[in-house]
Amino acid sequence: MQKLKTIAIFIVLVLLSPSTLFAQLNDGAVIHGDFADPSIIKVGGTYYAVGTSSEWAPHFPIFKSTDLKSWRQAGYVFDKAPEWTSGSFWAPEYYKIKDTYYIYYTARRKSDNVSYIGVATSKFPDKGFTDHGTFITFGKEAIDAFIYNDNGQLYVSFKAYGLDKRPIEILGYKLSADGLKIEGEPFSMLRDDDKQGMEGQSILKKGEYYYLFYSAGGCCGVRCTYNVRVARSKTYAGPYEFYDKNPILSENGKWKCMGHGTFVKGDNDADFYIHHAYNKESVAITGRQGLMSELIWPNGNEWLAFKAQKVMGGTAPNIKEDFTAKTVDKKWQWDFRNSTPVVKQQKGVLSLSGTVKEGNEAGIVLTNRPVSGSFVMTATVLNSNAALKGLSFYGDANAAVGIGVQNDQVVLWQVKGNKYAALAQQATKAKTPVQLKLDVAADKTCTFYYKQGTEDWKQLTTETPIKAGTLPQWDRSPRAGLHFRGDAALNGQFKEFSLVSR
């Protein structure tokens, strides 16, 4: 395929005001913590962004903002997993047709554990979504849907595997007017003949060209190589020509492995690109965080290089909960494949219990997304019973550490290779609340403390320091939160909780 000689685009990360194009910028995320594969839509003066949830429930968190910089969580697409799915909730994509909001999403099909594309609809952008089942089942895997309206004709593009020994391709279909059915035969838009990787596509039209932005390389983990590339065509279906100076967005001094995003119009008709990247210091501990970039279209055919590779963002939020609200906060998630929590909140106390999948040695963890690679988590346990209840830093049911109260003892524990072990324990005063603290340092060393009343903090130690480096899973960061391990007839009662970044 002939390489492009010129494409009149480049991406530079800036503040919203055009007058401060190269001003000093905040080098931070806009949506902190694990928020991969984001998609965005504008409704009036409000922006909504939805991201991958992988194996955490509720599924596909939704955030809202009025300025593209300050975001707060608004809800989830699904409170319960759709019936056809078994896990791997990835790459949700927003779209709107008339007065209906659509989420096109990827998940594994329960019948064969293959990832395909489903669709759900709602009259609201942040709640009330009804699932319509599988939408695209193609080859051995079909993921990363993107919808485009070309002069009234809707199209869907997606990444396809398993195509008669052909390489990965970005394929397209015509889409029905109601957005729920594919029509005709698929057509190839891009082929990964060079085996660089190709996914997470997003399409804009400028002048006579369609620009197809996509991500290449390895998406996930400490050895990721993700970057954003572009190709263009004079027709939507292609053929597309690759830009000969790819990649156009990859990393800067603080962030690496940028990729997989979609565009939205900001002030003054500017094109903003929400995408994810890893913080180079915390990497997998905080996961792929939500960043925002502006796409600058230069005049004429001149080439413009990157003049700034920073992101606009705000301060990472700390969490302090006193459980006095009438309902449980939306931020809490859990490992839905391995546990079913029962959570109640009233009069300043959160009660946690529930059941676990057979073979789950870790128990239930009601989790939050860490926004820093170094943090301090605290909670107060009010009750004493045979269940273990306290704090945990949790990767999945096979990889977790924590400190908790069981009967009248405080216990430091670890699950590794699906085996639970109590590593240290100490007697406590009966019928007295126990304050717990889990401290994660920048080098991933975890330390554990407890105290009662006005006592000073006391540390529980092990011969070998406990490291959090084994907790992250390949596609998601570990989570920090409240822990319960025991009979479902019992519970853990918590008076307060905090998660504070250093």
Q: Give the pLDDT confidence score for residue 390 in this predicted structure.
A: 98
Q: Give the pLDDT confidence score for residue 27 in this predicted structure.
A: 58
Q: Give the pLDDT confidence score for residue 182 in this predicted structure.
A: 98
Instruction: Give the integer Cα–Cα distance in Å for 368 and 35.
Output: 12
Instruction: Give the integer Cα–Cα distance in Å for 413 and 394.
Output: 12
The backbone torsions φ and ψ at residue 105, rounded to the nearest 5 degrees and listed phi first, read -140, 160
For residue 490, the one-letter residue type is L
Instruction: Extract the tokens encoding 460.
Output: 């529980």
| Span 387-402, average pLDDT | 98
**CA 170 to each of CA 89, 161, 213, 256: distance values in angstroms, whole numbers, following the listed order:** 20, 9, 11, 24
- The pTM score is 0.93
DSSP E strand boundaries for 235-338 = 241-242, 255-265, 271-279, 288-296, 319-321, 334-335
Q: Give the pLDDT confidence score for residue 270 in this predicted structure.
A: 82
- Residue 189 backbone zone (phi > 0: left; psi -120 to 50: alpha; other: beta): alpha
| Span 388-416, average pLDDT | 98
The CATH number of 319-501 is which of 3.40.50.720, 2.60.120.200, 2.130.10.10, 3.40.50.1370? 2.60.120.200
312 band by pLDDT with thresholds 50, 70 and 90: low
Q: Give the pLDDT confidence score for residue 311 in this predicted structure.
A: 46
Asked whether the predicted pLDDT for residue 212 surpasses 80, the reply is yes
Q: What average pLDDT does the chain have?
A: 90
* Architecture category of domain 10-296 in CATH: 5 Propeller (2.115)
Q: Give the pLDDT confidence score for residue 244 in this predicted structure.
A: 83
Find the range with the poorest average confidence among 44-53, 162-171, 272-281. 162-171
Asked whether the predicted pLDDT for residue 412 surpasses 50, the reply is yes
List the chain domain ranges.
Answer: 10-296, 319-501
Instruction: Give the integer Cα–Cα distance in Å for 403 and 324.
Output: 24
Element (DSSP H or E) covering residue 411: strand 409-416
Find the range with the poorest average confidence among 93-102, 250-259, 402-411. 250-259
Give me the percent of the chain exceeding a pLDDT of 90. 82
Decide if 45 contacts 36 (C-beta within 8 A).
no
Contacts 24+ apart (CB under 8 A), 211-216: 211/7, 211/9, 212/170, 212/240, 213/261, 213/273, 214/170, 214/190, 215/259, 215/260, 216/246, 216/247, 216/259
Asked whether the predicted pLDDT for residue 154 surpasses 60, the reply is yes
Asked whether the predicted pLDDT for residue 304 surpasses 80, the reply is no
| Span 484-494, average pLDDT | 98
Q: Give the pLDDT confidence score for residue 26 in this predicted structure.
A: 42
Contacts of residue 428, defined as CB under 8 A and 6 or more positions apart, other chains included, come to: 405, 408, 409, 410, 434, 450, 452
4 band by pLDDT with thresholds 50, 70 and 90: very low
